[in-house]
Structure 1
């Protein structure tokens, strides 16, 4: 049981995990690149989902995959917060303070 839809979810989960690794390393360029890959996968998934449905067992697996993606996303957001604050300051013309 590895339907095409589940393959999309698994690919999105892998991209999410890769994004988290890049965020942990402070490689925000890679995070942005992987985010674009995720957006493409999500678009393809939406299209494929109109032609195929998941059975009960697959839907349960999808749910577990989605939970892992959300956990990854939450940590990425937490790691990005200081970087985004610095970027906001730079864009506003404020010098970066040293702590």
Structure 2
């Protein structure tokens, strides 16, 4: 079972990388396709992971995979919404308030 769980994490990572590649090409249809693939894989992971824990070495790989997925997601957001990047200099060093 452990191997199938880590394989699902790897598949999500691969699909995330494919999403980033599509976003880099401004292929938004491709981004949506890979996003759908990720959603299916995540649902499979949720149902498969219930009651199962990964071995310590596989948990390290899972952590690496999760960081990569989050990094890919951040890069996709920058490509999809470039105006967000222009806000960074404005927000650095300023306290953030929620009203």
Q: TM-score with structure 1 length normalisation? A: 0.78
Which 5+ residue runs of structure 1 have no aligned equivalent?
Answer: 84-99
**What per-residue deviation string (whole Å, max 9, x for no partner) do you get for residues 19-72 of structure 1?**
000000000001011101100000000000014220111111100010011111
**2:74 counterpart residue number:** 74
**Aligned partners of 1:54 and 1:82: how far apart in 2?**
38
Instruction: Extract structure 1 runs of 4+ deviating beyond 2 A.
Output: none
Structure 2: gaps of 5 or more residues: 84-99
C-alpha deviations, 1:71-92, integer Å up to 9, x for none?
1100000000049xxxxxxxxx
- Give the length in aligned residue pairs: 82
Moved more, 47-56 or 58-67: 47-56
Please give the root-mean-square deviation of Cα atoms over the aligned residues, in Å: 1.5
| Distance (Å, rounded) in 2 between the aligned partners of 1:53 and 1:3 | 11
Instruction: Provide TM-score, normalisation by structure 2.
Output: 0.78
- Name the SS of the counterpart of 1:3 in structure 2: helix
Partner of 1:14: 14
